[in-house]
Structure 1
Amino acid sequence: MTKIKFGTDGWRGIIAEDYTFENVEKVALAFAQYYKKHPKIERGVVVGGDARFGSQDFAERAAQVIASQGIKVALADGVVSTPMLSLGIIKKRAAAGVMITASHNPPQWNGFKIKAEFGGSALMKDIKKIEARVAKILESGKAPKIKPMDQLRKEGLIRDADLRKPYVNDITKKIDFSAIKKSGLKIAYDVMYGAAFGVMDMLYPDATMIHNEHNPGFKGIAPEPLAKNLQEFIQLIIKEKFDYGLVTDGDADRLGAVDDHGNYISTQLIIPILLKYLVEEKKQKGSVVKTVSVSDIVTKMCEKYGLKLYEKPVGFKYVTEIMVKEKVLIGGEESGGVGMAVHIPERDGIYNGLLLAEYLAKSGKTLSEAVQEIYDEYGKVYYDRIDMRTTEKNKNAIMAKCEKGLKTLGSHEVLSTETKDGYKFRVDGGWLLIRASGTEPILRLYAEADSRAKMQALLKAAQEL
């Protein structure tokens, strides 16, 4: 029997293996059964899909299952990004939402994200209950009763919804596009064939776009904004002398950047730059949330600014839990996701990229200068991450070693160990984080240090455990 587990952000699977129409129907049924009891369910839910292969068809099927349970569904009338769906939930004051996407995963994957009424990822307590319902439905072996689409439309249970235009209008009000245009900075944007195709054309057509079209196979490259996937983009920045480049992932919730020298700039530096802008220039206040894999630079900045800092396990849903309780100035994870109280309690690569563009335009700095400013004040650090594929047996053996405790990592003495999520070993001038995937025989290794050699040595030591 298929097992369906929700990871750090929804259920994901390989299309035609475990990600099938049959399984999507069962997950959609569990979602509908759970949210039927929601006090605002009469307002309905929002359903949409990204640019992946089959996403629109899977979204329609999920909408059919949910509507067949008597719940009104606003179905996106075309490809949408995850932030578009999240904003749509807020604007329509809906009870919840479903986003069909596998985010940055390779082309053969798809997924099912559940969004709460506040627009962000559903809280863990809700996900666990839905997951338990999925298990019962799978165990029963019964297929959900699904009414024909035409009938559901006639009954008013499914209606098409334009989520792109309201999103563009919202971003237009929040970003100072006149300052960006006036700066004359030459900007490039890599859409990675993701759900954001065509959106920047409406927001800032002066930018030079690449991979800005619908290609469900992403030309065979995982739509994840990492340097290894951006070589064509990096060469474009260098050759055509762009001031900087922005890049978003498959469902446009994650952001990466490339500076004027062709250097890849990760969220580990984008978060500090945006935090500096929000506090020093925009004079905003609030708490800060970071996951355990985010740079210590953020910790140092919060100490300087006197900001309350929360450190949470990896997964933006943990950031969201704080965002729905209090005003969060900025919340982020190392893998590209950043959210802010001034926007929505969810990651949004396009908004974050444009806010970065606004800062560079108003400050007159290049992206490389903005990065150097952070280094000058808080110290230069080197960061990398490795997803180490191994066997389930070896994965468990390494985690058992970590649990017993490590005294050294290579030639570096372990000074302390944190266990908020996996095992984070601190050494003089750096740290190593080891986390085990809950669904695959993979160990996720993260390291940050005050020298490249030390960072690499920490990762090597982890691989040799």
Structure 2
Amino acid sequence: MHERAGRPAAESDLVDVEGLVRAYYEKQPDASIPEQRVVFGTAGHRGSSLNTSFNEHHILATTQAIVDYRTARGITGPLFIGADTHALSAPAQTTALDVLVGNRVRVFVDEFDDYVPTPALSHAILKWNNDPETRGEGEADGIVITPSHNPPQDGGFKYNPPHGGPADSEATTWIANRANELIAGGGGAVNQAEPSGVETYDFRGNYVEDLANIIDFDAIKRSGIRIGADPLGGASVHYWAAIRDHYDLDLTVVNARVDPTWSFMTLDWDGKIRMDPSSASAMASVLEHRGDYDILTGNDADADRHGIVTPDDGLMNPNHYLAVAIEYLFAHRPEWRPDAAVGKTLVSSSMIDRVAASLGRRLWEVPVGFKWFVPGLIDGSVGFGGEESAGASFLRFDGSVWTTDKDGILLCLLASEIRAVTGKSPSELYGSLVERFGDPAYERTDAAASAAQKADLGRLDGDAISATELAGEPITAKLSHAPGNDAAIGGVKVTTENAWFAARPSGTEDVYKIYAESFEGPEHLKAVQAAAKQIVDAALASAGE
């Protein structure tokens, strides 16, 4: 924990926006240098112009690669494009439009030149593709320009194919490889033209009006609860005012400022400015208002993550809120399929497992990455999909798809519905879950690992783990593939009756991440974490021999 974590950002913490944008245009990446190549993580390509990992040539090449991918896959409809409030997002959108128009792709930008949250873009793609009349003009897809909650100096570029959610690894690998070929070749195969002739789409109006089909606003309004919403300087800033006005709610936009330096933020746990609504350090200034509202919420820069603050408990742990949301939704959405499953990533809390079992619902446990929930949300076989990192989405009242990407605005609104309908805050409801199922201790830590060790961990098979016991309990499973869909998890997960850990290599640092949880309390959690490191290190040593 940094000594200034949770304290306001100082002048010395702020990025030079002018220098950042200048570097975007001036620095040219070298595809032979790994750190300067286009690399898609679980959501998209991210980097900074300052270290030549997110520059004009990256976006020229990546956009052309997306055009080539569309052609190869027969995608002939329009492409929806939007950007968040990061300083590099606007120039990246201009660059992308040059390429899209140069390739004669039909493009929709925001009607009001507004920022576009990730869920609003996913919603737009699905609305187009689910309407037989518009779909007849060809399937639509989209690009959202955002590095999510990353610091102000970062940029991000994400492709959402016609299913509306994050592209799968087949698509991102194809696009990244093609983009790096174009960069290495000097960019001569990139087609550009002035961004004229693009069409407009009301992302905000369409999204806000349709919320009535997934959130019980009548209950919220009748209850008279006071709601506070802080966009944290992100793309949802004008959406919250529109929601308030459209549904006549007692809702206050706590901070409507947009500043590409995020000078109003408090520093995150490591001393960086990071717009993470699940971090108490990043949300410190928001938490000062916890007593002013019945429900207080925060979103990150592209509004795909949520933070829930209650007067009685402050900022909720994302795992706690997911468990409460799941129990509430499956009890208050009678039109959902009776066999609709509870979806969670394998590093999310086992409290969710116990809630799902009590509901008589199938648990669908998948690897890290929201892309795994897409098919189930589309066909209604998964009612709710959530990640421990405060990202989730769920079905409409009628059991049909809402978004196939994470929707932080939606999860924040659900907290108000829960409070209005039950008369209790989500944190109070979590307390009742603890009384019924136990009180788990959960934490994520990092352990040092070389590039070779990270590669070994990513390929590690559960059978390579020789241990039979974890922190005094017999091991019940050693997993290298997710139970829900048998997809490789890029690491391992080890479980006992009352505890588990999962280890995965970091994609950006020389560490591997250890997620661990124990229903036996904090001291047992420490024992689990220590044993996890010993088990993984032993397995890596054997793999390296």
TM-score normalised by the chain length of structure 2:
0.78
Aligned partner of 2:296 in structure 1 is 245
CA deviation after TM superposition for structure 1 residue 146, in Å: 4.1
Matched position secondary structure for 1:324: helix
Structure 1 contact 224–249 (Cα < 8 Å) conserved: yes
CA deviation after TM superposition for structure 1 residue 206, in Å: 2.3
List aligned pairs for 1:135-284, cutoff 5 A.
Answer: 135-149=180-194, 152-153=195-196, 156=197, 158-204=198-244, 206-219=250-263, 221-225=273-277, 226-237=279-290, 240-283=291-334, 284=336
List aligned pairs for 1:9-408, cutoff 5 A.
Answer: 9-16=43-50, 17-41=52-76, 43-76=77-110, 77-93=113-129, 94-149=139-194, 152-153=195-196, 156=197, 158-204=198-244, 206-219=250-263, 221-225=273-277, 226-237=279-290, 240-283=291-334, 284-285=336-337, 286-342=340-396, 343-388=402-447, 391-392=450-451, 395=454, 403-407=464-468
Aligned partner of 1:430 in structure 2 is 499
CA deviation after TM superposition for structure 1 residue 12, in Å: 0.9
Matched position secondary structure for 2:218: helix
Deviations 1:232-251, CA, capped at 9 Å, x for gaps: 222321xx353232121111
Structure 1 contact 191–248 (Cα < 8 Å) conserved: yes
Distance 1:193 1:419, change over 3 A: same
Deviations 1:346-372, CA, capped at 9 Å, x for gaps: 210111211221121011112222111
CA–CA distance in 2 between the matches of 1:247 and 1:457? 34
Distance 1:36 1:300, change over 3 A: same
Distance 1:406 1:12, change over 3 A: farther
CA–CA distance in 1 between the matches of 2:461 and 2:531? 13
Structure 1 contact 65–144 (Cα < 8 Å) conserved: no
CA–CA distance in 2 between the matches of 1:108 and 1:271? 30
Structure 1 contact 337–349 (Cα < 8 Å) conserved: yes
Matched position secondary structure for 2:365: strand
CA–CA distance in 2 between the matches of 1:143 and 1:48? 26
1:429 is aligned with what amino acid? N
Aligned partner of 1:458 in structure 2 is 528
Deviations 1:176-195, CA, capped at 9 Å, x for gaps: 22321322323222221111
Distance 1:294 1:117, change over 3 A: same
CA–CA distance in 1 between the matches of 2:90 and 2:128? 21
CA–CA distance in 2 between the matches of 1:144 and 1:137? 7
CA–CA distance in 2 between the matches of 1:13 and 1:141? 20
Select between 272-281 and 16-25 the one with higher mean Cα deviation.
272-281
CA–CA distance in 2 between the matches of 1:300 and 1:401? 27
CA deviation after TM superposition for structure 1 residue 65, in Å: 0.7
**Root-mean-square deviation over aligned CA pairs:** 2.5
CA deviation after TM superposition for structure 1 residue 223, in Å: 0.8
Count residues in correspondence: 457
Distance 1:418 1:217, change over 3 A: same
CA deviation after TM superposition for structure 1 residue 19, in Å: 0.2
Structure 2 contact 304–406 (Cα < 8 Å) conserved: yes
Structure 2 contact 501–515 (Cα < 8 Å) conserved: yes
Distance 1:458 1:111, change over 3 A: same
CA deviation after TM superposition for structure 1 residue 202, in Å: 1.5
Structure 2 contact 373–382 (Cα < 8 Å) conserved: no
1:416 is aligned with what amino acid? A
CA–CA distance in 1 between the matches of 2:288 and 2:305? 21
Deviations 1:265-314, CA, capped at 9 Å, x for gaps: 13312222222222212223312221111111222233233323221110
CA deviation after TM superposition for structure 1 residue 50, in Å: 0.5
Structure 1 contact 38–95 (Cα < 8 Å) conserved: no
Distance 1:397 1:44, change over 3 A: closer
Structure 1 contact 49–81 (Cα < 8 Å) conserved: yes
Deviations 1:37-80, CA, capped at 9 Å, x for gaps: 44441x21111111111212211211221221121111232211
CA deviation after TM superposition for structure 1 residue 111, in Å: 0.9
CA deviation after TM superposition for structure 1 residue 81, in Å: 0.6
Distance 1:321 1:175, change over 3 A: closer
CA–CA distance in 2 between the matches of 1:300 and 1:123? 29
Unaligned runs of 5+ in 2: 1-31, 130-138, 264-271, 397-401, 482-488, 538-545
Distance 1:217 1:408, change over 3 A: farther
